[in-house]
Homo-oligomer: A and B are copies of this chain.
Amino acid sequence: MTKKVLKFGGTSVGSIKRIVHAAKIIKKEHENGNSIIVVVSAMAGTTNNLIEHSRSISKKFNKRELDVLLTSGEQVTSALMAGALNDIGVTARSWMSWQIPIITQGDHTNARIINMNVKKVNDYLSEGGVAVIPGFQGISKSGDITSIGRGGSDATAVAIAKIFQTDSCEIYTDVDGVYSSDPNKIPLAKKIDKISYEEMLELSSLGAKVMQSSAVQSAMMNNIPIQVKSTFTERKGTEINSEENIDYNKAVTGVAYSKDDAKITLLGVSDQPGVAADIFEPLSKNQINVDMVIQNISSDGKKTDLTFTTKRQDSSNAISLIKSNKKIKYEKMHMNDKVSKISIVGAGMVATPGITYKMFRSLAEEKINILAISTSEIKISVIINENLTIEAVKKLHRTFKLD
Protein backbone atom coordinates (compact mmCIF):
# COMPACT_ATOMS: atom_id res chain seq x y z
CA MET A 1 0.00 0.00 0.00
CA THR A 2 1.22 3.48 -0.90
CA LYS A 3 1.29 6.00 1.91
CA LYS A 4 0.79 9.61 0.83
CA VAL A 5 0.78 13.07 2.37
CA LEU A 6 -1.64 15.40 0.59
CA LYS A 7 -1.29 19.03 1.63
CA PHE A 8 -3.95 21.64 0.76
CA GLY A 9 -3.01 25.31 0.95
CA GLY A 10 -5.10 28.28 2.05
CA THR A 11 -6.76 29.02 -1.30
CA SER A 12 -7.44 25.29 -1.86
CA VAL A 13 -9.54 25.32 1.34
CA GLY A 14 -10.59 28.96 1.02
CA SER A 15 -14.35 28.31 1.05
CA ILE A 16 -16.75 25.52 2.00
CA LYS A 17 -17.17 24.71 -1.70
CA ARG A 18 -13.41 24.31 -2.08
CA ILE A 19 -13.10 22.17 1.05
CA VAL A 20 -15.79 19.86 -0.36
CA HIS A 21 -13.91 19.79 -3.68
CA ALA A 22 -10.62 18.91 -1.97
CA ALA A 23 -12.42 16.17 0.00
CA LYS A 24 -13.39 14.60 -3.34
CA ILE A 25 -9.76 14.56 -4.47
CA ILE A 26 -8.83 12.85 -1.18
CA LYS A 27 -11.67 10.35 -1.56
CA LYS A 28 -10.41 9.39 -5.02
CA GLU A 29 -6.86 8.84 -3.75
CA HIS A 30 -8.23 6.80 -0.85
CA GLU A 31 -10.40 4.67 -3.13
CA ASN A 32 -7.31 3.98 -5.24
CA GLY A 33 -6.02 2.05 -2.24
CA ASN A 34 -3.66 4.68 -0.85
CA SER A 35 -3.14 5.31 2.84
CA ILE A 36 -3.71 9.05 3.28
CA ILE A 37 -2.53 11.75 5.67
CA VAL A 38 -4.04 15.14 4.84
CA VAL A 39 -2.37 18.37 5.97
CA VAL A 40 -4.45 21.55 5.80
CA SER A 41 -3.69 25.25 6.01
CA ALA A 42 -6.07 27.80 7.49
CA MET A 43 -8.77 29.05 5.10
CA ALA A 44 -7.33 31.87 2.97
CA GLY A 45 -7.59 35.18 4.84
CA THR A 46 -8.11 33.66 8.30
CA THR A 47 -4.55 33.99 9.55
CA ASN A 48 -4.34 37.61 8.39
CA ASN A 49 -7.60 38.41 10.17
CA LEU A 50 -6.36 36.87 13.40
CA ILE A 51 -3.05 38.73 13.14
CA GLU A 52 -4.99 41.96 12.62
CA HIS A 53 -7.02 41.20 15.78
CA SER A 54 -3.83 40.68 17.77
CA ARG A 55 -2.28 43.88 16.41
CA SER A 56 -5.30 45.94 17.34
CA ILE A 57 -4.76 44.76 20.91
CA SER A 58 -1.01 45.24 20.94
CA LYS A 59 1.83 45.90 18.51
CA LYS A 60 3.86 43.53 20.71
CA PHE A 61 1.21 40.89 21.25
CA ASN A 62 2.43 38.11 23.55
CA LYS A 63 4.01 35.47 21.28
CA ARG A 64 2.86 32.47 23.30
CA GLU A 65 -0.73 33.66 22.97
CA LEU A 66 -0.24 34.58 19.30
CA ASP A 67 0.50 30.90 18.67
CA VAL A 68 -2.67 29.85 20.54
CA LEU A 69 -4.59 32.39 18.47
CA LEU A 70 -3.22 31.62 15.01
CA THR A 71 -3.29 27.82 15.28
CA SER A 72 -7.07 27.98 15.70
CA GLY A 73 -7.29 28.63 11.93
CA GLU A 74 -5.93 25.22 10.95
CA GLN A 75 -8.02 23.57 13.69
CA VAL A 76 -11.14 24.93 11.98
CA THR A 77 -10.08 23.64 8.53
CA SER A 78 -9.12 20.22 9.91
CA ALA A 79 -12.54 19.77 11.50
CA LEU A 80 -14.36 20.98 8.39
CA MET A 81 -12.27 18.70 6.15
CA ALA A 82 -12.77 15.65 8.39
CA GLY A 83 -16.50 16.43 8.48
CA ALA A 84 -16.63 16.83 4.69
CA LEU A 85 -14.87 13.47 4.23
CA ASN A 86 -17.27 11.70 6.58
CA ASP A 87 -20.16 13.27 4.71
CA ILE A 88 -19.06 11.58 1.45
CA GLY A 89 -18.51 8.24 3.12
CA VAL A 90 -14.78 8.40 3.91
CA THR A 91 -13.84 7.46 7.48
CA ALA A 92 -11.73 10.37 8.67
CA ARG A 93 -10.85 12.29 11.80
CA SER A 94 -8.85 15.34 12.69
CA TRP A 95 -5.72 14.97 14.80
CA MET A 96 -4.64 18.08 16.69
CA SER A 97 -0.89 18.50 17.24
CA TRP A 98 -1.28 17.68 20.94
CA GLN A 99 -3.26 14.53 20.17
CA ILE A 100 -0.46 13.01 18.03
CA PRO A 101 1.72 14.77 19.44
CA ILE A 102 3.87 16.81 17.06
CA ILE A 103 6.82 18.04 19.13
CA THR A 104 8.60 21.27 18.25
CA GLN A 105 11.65 23.11 19.45
CA GLY A 106 12.44 26.79 19.37
CA ASP A 107 10.75 30.11 19.96
CA HIS A 108 7.04 30.79 19.75
CA THR A 109 5.91 31.81 16.21
CA ASN A 110 9.15 30.35 14.87
CA ALA A 111 9.50 26.80 16.17
CA ARG A 112 10.48 23.77 14.12
CA ILE A 113 9.19 20.22 14.18
CA ILE A 114 11.66 17.80 15.75
CA ASN A 115 9.52 14.72 16.29
CA MET A 116 6.09 13.08 16.09
CA ASN A 117 4.59 10.02 17.65
CA VAL A 118 3.51 7.92 14.67
CA LYS A 119 1.85 5.03 16.55
CA LYS A 120 -1.74 6.22 16.99
CA VAL A 121 -2.04 7.79 13.55
CA ASN A 122 -0.49 4.74 11.86
CA ASP A 123 -2.95 2.46 13.67
CA TYR A 124 -5.76 4.67 12.45
CA LEU A 125 -4.43 4.59 8.86
CA SER A 126 -4.13 0.83 8.88
CA GLU A 127 -7.78 0.60 9.91
CA GLY A 128 -8.52 2.51 6.70
CA GLY A 129 -9.10 5.93 8.20
CA VAL A 130 -7.92 9.21 6.65
CA ALA A 131 -5.98 11.34 9.15
CA VAL A 132 -6.47 15.11 8.84
CA ILE A 133 -3.70 17.10 10.50
CA PRO A 134 -3.57 20.88 10.89
CA GLY A 135 -0.42 22.33 9.36
CA PHE A 136 1.76 25.11 10.79
CA GLN A 137 1.68 23.94 14.41
CA GLY A 138 2.91 21.67 17.13
CA ILE A 139 3.49 21.64 20.86
CA SER A 140 6.68 22.31 22.79
CA LYS A 141 8.13 19.74 25.17
CA SER A 142 6.48 21.64 28.01
CA GLY A 143 3.07 21.32 26.32
CA ASP A 144 2.62 24.83 24.94
CA ILE A 145 1.05 25.40 21.53
CA THR A 146 3.70 26.53 19.03
CA SER A 147 3.69 27.60 15.40
CA ILE A 148 6.36 27.17 12.78
CA GLY A 149 6.11 30.43 10.84
CA ARG A 150 4.01 31.73 7.95
CA GLY A 151 3.50 29.16 5.21
CA GLY A 152 4.49 26.53 7.77
CA SER A 153 1.93 24.02 6.53
CA ASP A 154 4.38 23.08 3.77
CA ALA A 155 6.98 22.34 6.43
CA THR A 156 4.43 20.21 8.33
CA ALA A 157 3.76 18.19 5.18
CA VAL A 158 7.47 17.59 4.57
CA ALA A 159 8.07 16.67 8.23
CA ILE A 160 5.20 14.18 8.13
CA ALA A 161 6.53 12.70 4.87
CA LYS A 162 9.90 12.26 6.57
CA ILE A 163 8.79 10.95 9.97
CA PHE A 164 5.94 8.74 8.71
CA GLN A 165 8.18 7.63 5.81
CA THR A 166 5.46 8.17 3.26
CA ASP A 167 5.94 7.27 -0.39
CA SER A 168 5.03 10.71 -1.62
CA CYS A 169 4.39 14.27 -0.56
CA GLU A 170 1.90 16.16 -2.70
CA ILE A 171 1.38 19.89 -2.35
CA TYR A 172 -2.02 20.95 -3.71
CA THR A 173 -2.12 24.63 -4.53
CA ASP A 174 -3.89 27.21 -6.67
CA VAL A 175 -1.37 27.02 -9.53
CA ASP A 176 -0.73 23.84 -11.49
CA GLY A 177 2.99 23.73 -10.89
CA VAL A 178 6.18 25.74 -11.01
CA TYR A 179 6.59 27.97 -14.08
CA SER A 180 9.65 29.33 -15.81
CA SER A 181 8.30 32.76 -14.84
CA ASP A 182 5.07 34.20 -13.44
CA PRO A 183 2.52 32.96 -16.05
CA ASN A 184 0.13 35.82 -15.23
CA LYS A 185 2.72 38.40 -16.32
CA ILE A 186 4.69 36.43 -18.91
CA PRO A 187 2.17 34.44 -20.97
CA LEU A 188 4.91 32.55 -22.79
CA ALA A 189 6.22 31.12 -19.50
CA LYS A 190 5.99 27.33 -19.43
CA LYS A 191 5.29 24.87 -16.67
CA ILE A 192 8.41 23.02 -15.53
CA ASP A 193 8.00 19.23 -15.27
CA LYS A 194 10.93 18.63 -12.97
CA ILE A 195 13.02 21.06 -10.95
CA SER A 196 15.79 20.57 -8.42
CA TYR A 197 15.52 21.68 -4.80
CA GLU A 198 18.30 24.24 -5.38
CA GLU A 199 16.61 25.75 -8.41
CA MET A 200 13.32 25.85 -6.56
CA LEU A 201 15.01 27.67 -3.68
CA GLU A 202 16.53 30.26 -6.05
CA LEU A 203 13.20 30.79 -7.77
CA SER A 204 11.37 31.02 -4.41
CA SER A 205 13.79 33.56 -3.05
CA LEU A 206 13.27 35.50 -6.27
CA GLY A 207 9.53 35.65 -5.82
CA ALA A 208 7.98 32.39 -7.05
CA LYS A 209 5.43 31.77 -4.26
CA VAL A 210 4.57 28.15 -4.97
CA MET A 211 6.16 26.68 -1.86
CA GLN A 212 7.69 27.93 1.37
CA SER A 213 11.51 28.02 1.17
CA SER A 214 12.27 26.35 4.50
CA ALA A 215 10.00 23.44 3.53
CA VAL A 216 11.94 23.03 0.25
CA GLN A 217 15.17 23.14 2.22
CA SER A 218 13.94 20.47 4.60
CA ALA A 219 12.78 18.28 1.68
CA MET A 220 16.25 18.72 0.14
CA MET A 221 18.03 17.77 3.35
CA ASN A 222 15.90 14.66 3.73
CA ASN A 223 15.74 13.85 0.03
CA ILE A 224 11.93 13.84 -0.11
CA PRO A 225 10.51 14.29 -3.61
CA ILE A 226 7.65 16.79 -3.75
CA GLN A 227 4.79 16.88 -6.23
CA VAL A 228 3.27 20.33 -6.74
CA LYS A 229 -0.27 19.94 -8.11
CA SER A 230 -3.28 22.08 -8.80
CA THR A 231 -6.39 21.59 -6.69
CA PHE A 232 -8.47 22.97 -9.53
CA THR A 233 -7.22 21.22 -12.69
CA GLU A 234 -6.13 17.65 -13.37
CA ARG A 235 -3.00 18.70 -15.29
CA LYS A 236 0.32 17.09 -14.39
CA GLY A 237 2.17 19.29 -11.90
CA THR A 238 5.84 19.86 -11.15
CA GLU A 239 8.14 17.43 -9.38
CA ILE A 240 10.77 18.86 -7.07
CA ASN A 241 13.63 16.41 -6.66
CA SER A 242 17.39 16.22 -6.28
CA GLU A 243 19.54 17.13 -9.28
CA GLU A 244 20.67 13.57 -9.93
CA ASN A 245 17.06 12.54 -10.48
CA ILE A 246 16.52 15.13 -13.17
CA ASP A 247 17.52 14.84 -16.82
CA TYR A 248 18.66 18.30 -17.77
CA ASN A 249 17.98 18.92 -21.42
CA LYS A 250 18.08 22.65 -20.81
CA ALA A 251 20.74 24.75 -19.18
CA VAL A 252 18.25 27.26 -17.82
CA THR A 253 15.12 26.25 -15.94
CA GLY A 254 13.48 29.56 -15.22
CA VAL A 255 13.67 33.32 -15.41
CA ALA A 256 12.78 35.27 -12.28
CA TYR A 257 12.45 39.00 -11.85
CA SER A 258 11.71 41.53 -9.17
CA LYS A 259 10.62 45.09 -9.83
CA ASP A 260 10.91 46.80 -6.48
CA ASP A 261 14.67 47.29 -6.40
CA ALA A 262 16.89 50.33 -6.14
CA LYS A 263 20.56 50.53 -7.06
CA ILE A 264 22.95 52.71 -5.09
CA THR A 265 26.53 53.35 -6.28
CA LEU A 266 29.32 54.94 -4.29
CA LEU A 267 32.10 56.26 -6.53
CA GLY A 268 35.64 56.83 -5.33
CA VAL A 269 35.51 54.84 -2.11
CA SER A 270 38.90 54.35 -0.43
CA ASP A 271 40.02 50.82 -1.22
CA GLN A 272 41.05 49.68 2.26
CA PRO A 273 40.04 46.93 4.71
CA GLY A 274 36.84 47.56 6.64
CA VAL A 275 35.32 50.09 4.29
CA ALA A 276 32.50 47.78 3.13
CA ALA A 277 31.73 46.90 6.75
CA ASP A 278 31.54 50.61 7.60
CA ILE A 279 29.01 51.11 4.83
CA PHE A 280 26.78 48.09 5.53
CA GLU A 281 26.81 48.13 9.33
CA PRO A 282 24.39 51.06 9.74
CA LEU A 283 22.10 49.61 7.05
CA SER A 284 21.95 46.25 8.81
CA LYS A 285 21.28 47.91 12.17
CA ASN A 286 18.32 49.68 10.58
CA GLN A 287 16.87 46.45 9.14
CA ILE A 288 17.68 47.46 5.58
CA ASN A 289 18.28 44.33 3.56
CA VAL A 290 21.10 44.57 1.01
CA ASP A 291 20.67 42.19 -1.93
CA MET A 292 23.40 42.36 -4.61
CA VAL A 293 26.82 43.82 -3.81
CA ILE A 294 29.33 44.49 -6.57
CA GLN A 295 32.76 45.91 -6.00
CA ASN A 296 35.33 46.29 -8.72
CA ILE A 297 39.05 45.90 -8.17
CA SER A 298 40.42 49.40 -8.07
CA SER A 299 42.70 50.36 -10.92
CA ASP A 300 45.08 52.44 -8.85
CA GLY A 301 44.88 50.49 -5.58
CA LYS A 302 43.48 53.56 -3.79
CA LYS A 303 39.94 54.19 -4.91
CA THR A 304 37.16 51.82 -5.91
CA ASP A 305 33.48 51.93 -6.86
CA LEU A 306 30.86 50.02 -4.87
CA THR A 307 27.33 49.23 -6.04
CA PHE A 308 24.58 47.55 -4.07
CA THR A 309 20.82 47.05 -4.35
CA THR A 310 18.09 47.32 -1.73
CA LYS A 311 14.31 47.23 -1.75
CA ARG A 312 13.05 50.46 -3.29
CA GLN A 313 11.18 51.50 -0.15
CA ASP A 314 14.45 51.41 1.83
CA SER A 315 16.57 53.37 -0.64
CA SER A 316 16.16 56.93 0.63
CA ASN A 317 16.68 55.77 4.19
CA ALA A 318 19.86 53.97 3.10
CA ILE A 319 21.18 57.13 1.44
CA SER A 320 20.64 59.32 4.48
CA LEU A 321 22.28 56.73 6.74
CA ILE A 322 25.36 56.74 4.52
CA LYS A 323 25.43 60.52 4.24
CA SER A 324 25.15 61.01 7.97
CA ASN A 325 27.94 58.57 8.77
CA LYS A 326 31.16 60.58 8.72
CA LYS A 327 33.31 57.42 8.77
CA ILE A 328 32.30 56.59 5.21
CA LYS A 329 34.54 58.37 2.65
CA TYR A 330 33.51 58.52 -0.99
CA GLU A 331 33.53 61.02 -3.82
CA LYS A 332 30.06 60.72 -5.24
CA MET A 333 26.85 58.77 -4.67
CA HIS A 334 24.35 57.78 -7.39
CA MET A 335 20.95 56.27 -6.86
CA ASN A 336 18.62 54.73 -9.39
CA ASP A 337 15.35 53.43 -8.03
CA LYS A 338 13.84 52.62 -11.41
CA VAL A 339 15.65 49.32 -11.82
CA SER A 340 14.68 45.67 -11.72
CA LYS A 341 16.57 42.45 -11.23
CA ILE A 342 16.39 39.68 -13.83
CA SER A 343 17.76 36.25 -12.93
CA ILE A 344 18.18 33.10 -14.94
CA VAL A 345 18.22 29.97 -12.80
CA GLY A 346 19.30 26.48 -13.80
CA ALA A 347 21.19 23.54 -12.36
CA GLY A 348 22.22 22.67 -15.91
CA MET A 349 24.24 25.91 -16.19
CA VAL A 350 27.36 24.49 -14.58
CA ALA A 351 27.69 21.86 -17.30
CA THR A 352 26.88 24.22 -20.17
CA PRO A 353 29.58 26.70 -21.17
CA GLY A 354 28.70 30.12 -22.49
CA ILE A 355 25.43 30.73 -20.64
CA THR A 356 26.64 34.04 -19.26
CA TYR A 357 27.76 35.23 -22.68
CA LYS A 358 24.48 34.07 -24.24
CA MET A 359 22.47 35.99 -21.65
CA PHE A 360 24.39 39.23 -22.12
CA ARG A 361 24.38 38.92 -25.92
CA SER A 362 20.62 38.37 -26.10
CA LEU A 363 19.96 41.38 -23.85
CA ALA A 364 22.29 43.45 -26.02
CA GLU A 365 20.35 42.40 -29.11
CA GLU A 366 17.29 44.05 -27.52
CA LYS A 367 19.40 47.11 -26.67
CA ILE A 368 18.90 46.43 -22.95
CA ASN A 369 21.72 47.95 -20.94
CA ILE A 370 23.10 45.90 -18.03
CA LEU A 371 23.72 48.09 -14.97
CA ALA A 372 25.16 45.43 -12.65
CA ILE A 373 25.85 41.70 -12.64
CA SER A 374 26.03 39.08 -9.94
CA THR A 375 26.40 35.32 -10.37
CA SER A 376 26.20 32.15 -8.29
CA GLU A 377 26.56 28.46 -9.10
CA ILE A 378 23.06 28.09 -10.55
CA LYS A 379 21.97 31.67 -11.06
CA ILE A 380 22.95 34.79 -13.01
CA SER A 381 21.30 38.06 -12.00
CA VAL A 382 21.50 41.38 -13.79
CA ILE A 383 20.14 44.80 -12.93
CA ILE A 384 18.46 46.66 -15.80
CA ASN A 385 16.17 49.64 -16.24
CA GLU A 386 12.76 48.79 -14.90
CA ASN A 387 10.76 49.70 -18.01
CA LEU A 388 12.52 46.93 -19.97
CA THR A 389 11.72 44.13 -17.47
CA ILE A 390 9.03 42.21 -19.33
CA GLU A 391 10.87 42.59 -22.66
CA ALA A 392 14.02 41.14 -21.08
CA VAL A 393 12.19 38.22 -19.46
CA LYS A 394 10.50 37.38 -22.76
CA LYS A 395 13.75 37.60 -24.71
CA LEU A 396 15.51 35.29 -22.21
CA HIS A 397 12.64 32.80 -22.49
CA ARG A 398 13.21 32.64 -26.22
CA THR A 399 17.01 32.57 -25.93
CA PHE A 400 16.98 29.62 -23.52
CA LYS A 401 14.07 27.88 -25.25
CA LEU A 402 11.72 28.04 -22.25
CA ASP A 403 8.71 29.07 -24.34
Contact = CB atoms under 8 A, between A and B. Distances in A.
A83 interface: yes
A16 interface: yes
Given A79-B65, A79-B66, A84-B58, A53 B16 contact: yes
Contacts of A54: 80, 83
A99 interface: yes
A94 B68 contact: yes
Interface string A57-68: 110111011101
A143 B99 contact: yes
Nearest to A20: B57
Interface stretch (A24-32, A69-77, A173-181): A69-77
Contacts of A99: 143
A100 B377 CA distance: 53
A83 B65 contact: yes
B94 A65 contact: yes
Given A68-B96, A94-B68, A19 B57 contact: yes
A57 B83 contact: yes
A7 interface: no
Q: Which among A60, A65, A96, A145 has the greatest number of chain B C-beta atoms within 10 A?
A: A65
Nearest to A143: B99
A20 B61 CA distance: 13
Given A50-B76, A69-B76, A57 B96 contact: no
Contacts of A61: 83, 87
A295 to B, nearest CB: 46
Interface residues of A, number: 35
A69 B79 CA distance: 5
Interface in A7-25: 16, 19-20
Contacts of A65: 79-80, 82-83, 86, 93-94
Interface string A191-219: 00000000000000000000000000000
A56 interface: yes
A66 B84 CA distance: 11
A98 interface: yes
A230 interface: no
Contacts of A72: 72, 75-76, 79
A80 B94 contact: no
A96 B65 CA distance: 11
A317 B53 CA distance: 47
A389 interface: no
Nearest to A61: B83
Nearest to A59: B87
Contacts of A68: 75, 78-79, 82, 94, 96
A80 B57 contact: yes
A53 B80 contact: yes
B76 A62 contact: no
A31 B65 CA distance: 22
Given A53-B76, A65-B93, 11 more contacts: A54-B80, A57-B83, A57-B87, A61-B83, A64-B82, A65-B79, A68-B75, A68-B79, A68-B94, A72-B79, A98-B98
Interface of A: 16, 19-20, 50, 53-54, 56-58, 60-62, 64-66, 68-69, 72, 75-76, 78-80, 82-84, 86-87, 93-94, 96, 98-99, 143, 145
19 contacts: A54-B80, A54-B83, A57-B84, A60-B87, A61-B83, A62-B83, A65-B80, A65-B82, A66-B83, A68-B79, A68-B82, A68-B94, A68-B96, A69-B80, A72-B75, A75-B75, A96-B145, A98-B98, A99-B143
